[in-house]
Amino acid sequence: MNRISVSYNGKPCYEIVFHDRFAGLAGFIRDLGFAGRRIAIITDSTVIGLYEREIREELSQISDRVCTFSFPAGEDSKHLGTIEQIYSFLIGEHFDRHDLVIALGGGVTGDIAGFAAASYLRGVSFVQVPTTVLAQCDSSVGGKTGVDFSGYKNMVGAFKMPALVWINTQVLKTLDERQFIAGFGEVLKYGLIRDVSFFDWLIEHREKLLARDAELLSEMIRRCCEIKRDVVEQDPEEKGLRAILNFGHTIGHAVEKYLRFNRMHGECVALGMRAALDISCRRGLISRDDDERISKTIEDFGLPVRESGLDKDEILTLMRSDKKMDGDNISFILLDPPGNARIMRDVTADELLYGIEQICLS
């Protein structure tokens, strides 16, 4: 077991604990002051059959008031209606602001449970127990929560730091192949925006990572969490630097909506990164060799770099409704060079259309 400490506004806030089992989680939650309190496990219809019983038994060591709320798995559940159902559930279970919510699942579960915790009774504590590559490497860390609204990704939400993030890397064995691969969209992002040596390490160990080598996956996840921790600590509420974490997301979110969420988030991030690479190259910020090498790496990890049936003008229109808009400008992330991301506010519509064209399969 090892851990990373995360600070908020200069003060220790929570720990990310890395383990190969759930045993021990109850002790950490007890030490946070929740022994004997009501604990709600929020999970989805897939994960409930895999890990809910084990988590419940673990928590029974410190509380006899553990309950579970489950919602249908998938992005289709990520809306305010699910949040209302959680509110009703917590009210029915007589939860007060001294009780605890646990998010058990992938990124969708973490976002939903986190937003419910942030807004129920103006805020109750919650713990992240992520079960996917994407959630363990990215979404469980940093305090962003939220749901989609009118088809727009994460349009309604709140910043809510977890009380603890518990990462059991063994659960990745049960992920289906597509979901496992999709998580690498976020993983590759971290090397590209902040640590090119990590990106090279991913290339070097690609085959073993894709074969789910436990030791290498643990090392990979820890490095992603370290990079995100370092960025978030400097800018917890995304007023500046934290925006670099959106590399690949501006176009990616628009593609995700255009495809009606039939592509996984990490897959759409990969498409968005591919488009951003071409814009970076066109501006002379990265070389054509870098562009081609990185694009090939994205493909080698099994992620898409082109998509059929895209309407570039419609995707540009969807981008203008993104929450990353700054007045009439889109805050866009480019590489300058690989391993260093820059926030650009002067990317033109023509440049964006050019980037989108590069991911369109005719």
Active-site annotation holder among 38, 246, 274, 312: 246
Based on the residue annotation, tell me whether 246 is a catalytic residue of this protein.
yes
Active-site annotation holder among 242, 257, 274, 312: 242
Active-site annotation holder among 228, 257, 263, 274: 228
- Strand, helix or coil for residue 308: strand
Please check whether residue 40 is in contact with residue 14, taking contact to mean a CB–CB distance below 8 angstroms.
no
Based on the residue annotation, tell me whether 238 is a catalytic residue of this protein.
yes
Based on the residue annotation, tell me whether 122 is a catalytic residue of this protein.
yes
Active-site annotation holder among 265, 267, 312, 351: 265
Active-site annotation holder among 253, 257, 263, 274: 253
Active-site annotation holder among 58, 75, 186, 256: 186
Q: Spell out where the chain has E strands.
A: 2-8, 11-19, 39-44, 66-71, 100-105, 125-130, 144-149, 152-159, 164-168, 307-308, 325-326, 329-330, 332-335, 341-344, 360-361
CA 234, 240, 241, 246 dihedral sign is positive
Query: Among candidates 294, 50, 255, which has minimal Cα distance to 171?
Result: 50
Active-site annotation holder among 153, 194, 223, 249: 249
Active-site annotation holder among 122, 207, 215, 239: 122
End-to-end CA separation in angstroms for the chain: 49
The phi, psi pair for 101, rounded to 5°, reads: -110, 135
Residue 227 and residue 138: Cα distance in Å, rounded? 10
Active-site annotation holder among 19, 37, 38, 144: 144
Query: Among candidates 319, 25, 354, which has minimal Cα distance to 165?
Result: 25
79 DSSP assignment: S
Tokens found for residue 16: 């990310």
Active-site annotation holder among 58, 75, 233, 238: 238
Based on the residue annotation, tell me whether 75 is a catalytic residue of this protein.
no
Based on the residue annotation, tell me whether 340 is a catalytic residue of this protein.
no
By annotation, the residues acting in catalysis are: 122, 144, 186, 228, 238, 242, 246, 249, 253, 265
